[in-house]
Structure 1
Amino acid sequence: MSDRKLALAAWESLFRAQHEIFTEMSEDFDSTALSTAEYDVLLTVTRFESRTARLRDVTANMLISQPSVSRLVDRMVARGLLEKCQDPEDGRGSLVHATEAGTRAFRQIATVHGRSIAVRMSRLSDDELRQLTALTEKLRKSS
């Protein structure tokens, strides 16, 4: 078992870094057509083949509750960013598909946001980025 005081200090540093970086990156969305949560949904959906994902897969990727994801998806459907239908392989589930408008809105922001992420993360070397990725994945797998 690691030193408790060191573990708490590391956790606090990780938490504060994530919070500060996320706050800075939220500015990338100030004058865009998508919120950060909508961007996150479209990021998940557009990574799947045919830009279609199961709603439960979208929910698993989000940092908000399942009912909140469902309401968000319904609002995105109403705005024409997504289409939603019943999952033919799971009668209780739904599929969501990124529309052309949703994909276009996502790509416009993704280009700017991706550049912004690269600039912010350039404080770290490639080796440090690989190490950070390995460490955060290790933390995520232990929960």
Structure 2
Amino acid sequence: MPALDLSTHPGHLARRLQQAHTLLWNTTVSEEVTSPQFAVLNTLVGEDGLDQRTVGERVGLDRSTIAEVIRRLADRGLIDKVRDPRDGRRSVLHATEEGVRVHKKLALRTARMNQVFLAPLAPREQDLFLDLLRRVSDAAEGLRNPSPPAALGA
């Protein structure tokens, strides 16, 4: 059997793209705050007081990963985790003043990183590329959390 042309395999290309993103992130944005940590911080800056499960869903992280990301952000003093006064079983998350400051600094750097990352594409291609990535990513989320099958005869 001949070797496969991996340039036609989306998973292979996605892995290479992720490697490029990680390199750019570490050199342009931050070596201390990871991209998933920034996504969580960004979510809380945009909508403070969410619970951990909701933040995880918004940024596409599974339960164990979001728990670890939250722990690390809290350990660094970038977010606070407090019991919900209306429901003691639930904790809500808040960006701290330091978290907001770090977010603002990193948000500027992510804009520069995105310019470098997308530079090989013309502006219209960039929009199309992002749209296609969103569509595939959204569909992939459905694979992780499939909807229950429709009832027969419904």
TM-score bucket (shorter structure) = 0.7 to 0.9
Q: Give the letter aligned to residue 69 of structure 2.
A: L
The structure that is helix-richer by fraction is: 1
Q: Runs of 4+ in structure 1 displaced over 6 angstroms?
A: 5-8
CA distance in 2, matches of 1:80, 1:14: 33
Tell me if the contact between 1:62 and 1:69 (Cα under 8 Å) persists in the aligned partners.
no
TM-score, structure 1 as length reference: 0.74
Alignment of 1:43-62 (within 5 A): 43-48=42-47, 51-62=48-59
Shift in alpha-carbon separation, 1:86–1:133, aligned structure 2, 3 A:
same
Look up the match of 1:119: 116
CA distance in 1, matches of 2:88, 2:81: 14
Look up the match of 1:19: 19
Identity score, percent: 22
Task: Give the 3-state SS of the residue equivalent to 1:106 in structure 2.
Answer: helix
Report the RMSD for the aligned CA atoms in angstroms: 2.8
| Structure 1 gaps, min length 5 | none
CA distance in 2, matches of 1:90, 1:130: 42
Look up the match of 2:63: 66
Shift in alpha-carbon separation, 1:94–1:6, aligned structure 2, 3 A:
farther
Look up the match of 2:130: 133
Look up the match of 1:39: 38
Equivalences, count? 135
Return the match for 1:84 from 76, 81, 93.
Answer: 81
CA distance in 1, matches of 2:6, 2:87: 43
Q: Over residues 91-124 of structure 1, what are the superposed CA-to-partner deviations in whole Å (9 max), with x where a residue is unaligned?
A: 5432101011110011112212221212321221
TM-score, structure 2 as length reference: 0.70
CA distance in 1, matches of 2:7, 2:112: 32
Q: Which moved more, 1:5-14 or 1:92-101?
A: 5-14
Look up the match of 1:100: 97
Shift in alpha-carbon separation, 1:135–1:83, aligned structure 2, 3 A:
same
CA distance in 2, matches of 1:75, 1:96: 13
